[in-house]
Structures are given as structure tokens and as C-alpha cells.
């Protein structure tokens, strides 16, 4: 999908791919004159509330259980600075700069819609941080995903008032050092600004963006590597026939079956055993459309919900117009928390079925493929122990699949009596996906080894090119070696998306088209 060169915060429709493009610097994020005016009008409405003395939560009251405590006009600015400090209670390792940058992008977009009462000067400072790559340090733990991601967002915006730390020009420095290097000065936050900054689901949503991106990579790899394993073990093509999947027309199932049909097009290996007596393959081969497809359907569900969230106003209270300010619950993380838990399960299942295919390849039950994928075993253990690693990773993923959103611990003296734990959902989902990348890397190595035993027969042109590419990274194994080195190369190949790029290049060069429906839905985000 072609990304725009310029994106208008608050005004244009944000997608995960555009957010990633802004984070990488390939898309320029700006605010149009019309939306600057909307932001200023909303800020003026807050100033009028303070001037009139109307009691409005978060503008001239305390927060959470202190919502009934009235704050004087003189103290409303102090209140906003205090809330950033008091809520900066995050612990644990910092999140990646990429995630922190995505949080910043998502927050700018939400505030620029003009319903939060924030000053344009505050948003401009946030834009400065984004444009100059001065990215705040944000601890990974501390959010329960209730009044939004309070702790992470507080750390994200401490630098606005001269506190906290930032990653700047390759080093982590305190904000005071940043100010000395750049000539910036601390901002004085106006009424409601502190609350507008820290209320919202941007920590959860930023994790959702990376889950969407990384899980899609895993889904694409799983189809490609699964097709290679099918060839290596001389599996049947019949379970992938289009006619079969029109009888149970789940989008994901149909799409996966079509992708595998395309990858196997023109295969001599398939032709060689088309009349064999084997009745059916084990499920890990035969049911790839159903299992990979179910995970794709889950990915699509996350994509749809995340896109709604990326274009929503999730702070509190929301300034609707001159007469109406609503203290509601748009900050609650439940919509994404449940979807991220679902995505975590979808990722885990990809790893689980991949581990089963690896085990299947080691059994030696496929004609021509030796036990443990090596001819001279006994003195050599072959690929036996690689499956130990995938078993460990698959089991670890199962333990991580308990849904964080199924839990709730009341906070804020009972005012926040139901919380989403969505931040944990997002962190766990990414952890599971990282494990799946490792499992798929090991399947790639074993599939390539099994594939070798089919020579001199050729597969489809795409899979043959992939096999040649893998052999430039990892040689055929006819005796034991330190397989950890091979695995590292496989993981690097998966994480860089080199196989996906090679598939697209080969198909373009050979004028091949995907015989798979729903390309737009599943291949873009």
C-alpha cells in the first residue's frame, strides 16, 4: 500500500501502517490551520469553564477519588503539573524507542481532534520531540489500562515540564540536559492539560500496532514455510482445493489455501506423488488453512478494532461544545485488551502447529526423508534437539496465553473498580510473537533440510528460489554442528522479512499473481 507523504494529525484517517511510517520518518505529520483553530477553540472552552467557576472534573477538581475536591482558580495550573509527577510511577525495563514514538504519534493525533482542551503550544512541543527524535523514556510496567495508560503516559510527558529522561542522539539523558543542548524551556501547563496528556489508551494501542505488524509477518511466513514443509514431506495438495473451502467459507481459510496453491504451482514434487497410496496427511499439514486461517481471522479482527481506536478520542473529560463537557469512560482499555488477548492466542497457535510440523519432519515416515533429517544418525543426533527448543517456546507461549483482560483489581480507592489490564495484554502478545518468530525460523531450517531430499525434482518457482536463498545463509547439514548459529541466521531472516520480499520479487519477475482472495484485507494494515 502506498503511504501518503504528508499526514494531517486530527484530520486524516490514521492506520497502523501510516503511524509506523511517521515513526520511521517516511511520512511527515503536520496539523492544518483548520485543526489548529479547532484545538484553540477547545482550549478556550476550558479557560471559560475556569473563569466561570463551574465545577468540571479534572479542570477544577481533584482526580479519581478526589473528584469532589474543588480546586481554586489559582491552583488549577499547579494541579496539572502535579498530576504528571504523581502519576509517574512506572517500573521495569523501558519500552523500545519505537513504541514510545508510536505513543507520541497516537497522542498527538487524538489531541489534535479538538476535544481535549489542550493548548496548541503543548502539542507543538510534542511535535518538536517527534521531529527531533527526542523520545521520552517510558517504563514498561505500571498501567492497568483503566483511566487509560496513566503511568506510561505520565512518563512520556514529564519532559514537557522539564522532568524525566529522553533518548536523544544515541544517548539517554535527563531532560535538563536536553534543554541545555537545545535551548528549550519547561512548559507551564494550563487547566486540564495534564489530565488530557495522561488519560488515553496510547500505550495499549502502540503495542497493538506492533502486534498487528509482527503478527502479519508471522502469518505470511507460516504459509510460506508450511508450503515448503508440505513439499519436503510430500504432502497432499487436495486439502487446499478451492472447491473444499467454498463449502466452509471463512475468509482466513480461503486466503491461506489460495496462498499455498499459488506457492506450489508448477511443482514437480507434487506431480511425482500425485497417485501415491497415502490417504491423508496429519493435521499439521492438512489443516493449515483452518489453523493459519483462524489466526488470520483473529488478526483481521484486531486490525478493525485497532483502526477505530487509532482515530478515537480516549481522554477524559471530553469537551463537546461550549455547553457540554462529559466525564465518561472512553479511556477504558477493554476493547483493545480483549482483542490483544485474542491475538496472543492466534500467534501462539501458529507456533504450536509449526512445532508439530517440525516433529513430523523428524519422524522419518515420509518416503526418502531420513529420520531426524540426517542420513548418518547414531553418531549424529541430526535435527532432534532443535525441536526441543520449539517445544519449550510453544509451551512458554501457552503459559502466556492466559488472558490479562480476564482479570481486574480495583484501584483509585474503588473509583476505578473495573480495569482492563490491556497494557499487559499488549506486552504479552509481543512476547508470544517473538517466540513464534523463533519457532518459524527453526521450521524454516528443517523444511529446507527436508526439501533437499526431493532433489533433483523441483518445486514451484517461488519455493525453489526460497530454498536457494536459505542455502546462502545455512548449508545443508550432513553431520552435527552448532545449530544455534543456524537458528540465529534463521531468526534474523524472519525478523527482516527477507523471505517475504523474495517471494514478492520472484512473483513479479515471473508475472505470477496470488490465487488468494481477500488480498486487500489481509495484506494491508
**Residues with a known catalytic role:** 57
CA distance 423 to 429: 10
SS3 309: helix
**Number of Cβ within a 10 Å radius of residue 72:** 11
The set of cell numbers assigned to 98 is 519505537
Q: What is the dihedral of CA 253, 255, 257, 261, to 10 degrees?
A: 180
Cα-based distances in Å from 498 to 156, 406, 514: 34, 37, 18
Write the DSSP assignment of 417-456 as a string of letters: -S---HHHHHHHHHHHHHHHHHHHHHHHHHHHHHHHTTTT
SS3 235: coil
Do 148 and 337 form a contact (C-beta atoms < 8 A)?
Answer: no
H/E run at residue 141: strand 139-141
CA distance 83 to 412: 14
CA distance 479 to 373: 10
CA distance 147 to 331: 5
* Strand blocks (E) in 3-65: 6-8, 28-30
Amino acid at each position: 500500500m502506498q503511504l501518503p507523504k504528508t499526514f494531517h494529525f486530527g484530520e486524516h484517517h490514521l492506520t497502523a501502517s501510516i503511524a509506523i511510517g511517521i515513526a520511521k520518518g517516511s511520512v511527515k505529520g503536520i496539523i492544518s490551520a483548520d485543526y489548529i483553530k479547532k484545538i484553540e477553540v477547545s482550549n478556550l472552552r476550558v479557560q471559560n469553564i475556569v473563569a466561570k467557576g463551574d465545577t468540571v472534573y479534572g479542570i477544577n477538581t481533584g482526580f479519581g477519588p478526589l473528584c469532589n475536591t474543588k480546586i481554586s482558580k489559582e491552583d488549577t495550573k499547579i494541579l496539572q503539573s502535579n498530576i504528571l509527577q504523581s502519576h509517574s510511577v512506572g517500573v521495569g525495563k523501558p519500552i523500545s524507542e519505537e513504541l514510545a514514538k508510536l505513543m507520541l504519534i497516537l497522542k498527538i493525533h487524538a489531541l489534535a481532534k479538538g476535544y481535549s482542551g489542550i493548548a496548541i503550544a503543548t502539542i507543538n512541543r510534542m511535535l518538536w520531540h517527534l521531529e527531533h527524535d527526542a523520545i521520552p523514556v517510558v517504563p514498561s510496567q505500571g498501567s492497568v489500562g483503566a483511566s487509560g495508560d496513566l503511568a506510561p503516559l505520565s512518563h512520556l510527558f514529564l519532559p514537557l515540564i522539564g522532568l524525566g529522561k529522553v533518548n536523544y542522539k544515541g544517548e539517554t539523558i535527563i531532560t535538563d540536559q536536553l534543554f541545555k543542548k537545545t535551548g528549550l524551556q519547561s512548559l507551564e501547563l494550563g487547566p486540564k492539560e495534564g489530565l488530557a496528556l495522561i488519560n488515553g489508551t496510547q500505550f495499549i494501542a502502540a503495542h497493538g500496532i506492533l502486534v498487528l505488524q509482527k503478527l502479519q509477518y508471522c502469518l505470511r511466513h507460516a504459509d510460506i514455510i508450511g508450503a515448503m514443509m508440505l513439499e519436503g514431506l510430500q504432502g497432499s495438495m487436495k486439502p487446499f482445493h478451492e472447491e473444499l473451502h467454498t463449502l466452509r467459507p471463512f475468509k482466513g481459510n480461503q486466503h491461506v489455501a489460495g496462498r499455498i496453491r499459488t506457492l506450489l504451482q508448477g511443482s514437480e514434487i507434487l506431480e511425482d506423488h500425485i497417485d501415491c497410496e497415502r490417504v491423508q496427511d496429519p493435521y499439521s499439514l492438512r489443516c493449515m488453512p483452518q489453523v493459519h486461517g483462524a489466526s488470520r481471522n483473529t488478526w483481521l479482527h484486531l486490525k478493525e478494532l485497532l483502526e477505530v481506536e487509532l482515530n478515537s478520542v480516549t481522554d477524559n473529560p471530553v469537551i463537546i461544545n461550549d455547553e457540554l463537557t462529559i466525564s465518561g469512560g472512553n479511556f477504558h482499555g477493554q476493547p483493545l485488551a480483549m482483542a490483544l488477548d485474542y491475538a496472543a492466542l492466534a500467534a501462539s497457535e501458529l507456533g504450536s502447529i509449526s512445532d508439530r510440523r517440525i516433529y513430523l519432519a523428524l519422524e522419518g515416515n515420509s518416503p526418502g526423508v531420513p529420520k531426524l533429517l540426517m542420513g548418518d544418525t547414531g553418531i549424529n543426533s541430526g535435527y532432534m534437539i532443535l525441536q526441543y527448543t520449539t517445544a519449550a517456546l510453544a509451551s512458554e507461549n501457552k503459559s502466556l496465553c492466559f488472558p490479562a483482560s480476564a482479570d481486574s483489581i480495583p484501584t483509585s480507592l474503588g473509583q476505578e473498580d473495573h480495569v482492563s489490564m490491556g497494557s499487559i495484554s499488549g506486552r504479552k502478545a509481543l512476547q508470544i510473537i517473538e517466540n513464534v518468530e523463533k519457532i518459524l525460523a527453526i521450521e524454516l531450517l528443517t523444511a529446507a533440510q527436508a526439501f533437499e531430499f526431493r532433489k533433483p525434482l523441483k518445486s514451484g518457482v517461488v519455493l525453489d528460489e526460497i530454498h536457494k536463498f536459505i542455502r546462502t545463509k545455512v548449508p545443508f547439514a550432513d553431520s552435527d554442528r552448532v545449530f544455534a548459529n543456524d537458528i540465529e541466521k534463521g531468526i534474523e531472516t524472519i525478523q527482516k522479512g527477507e523471505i517475504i520480499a523474495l517471494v514478492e520479487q520472484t512473483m513479479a519477475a515471473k508475472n505470477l499473481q496470488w490465487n488468494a482472495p481477500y488480498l486487500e484485507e489481509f495484506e494491508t494494515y
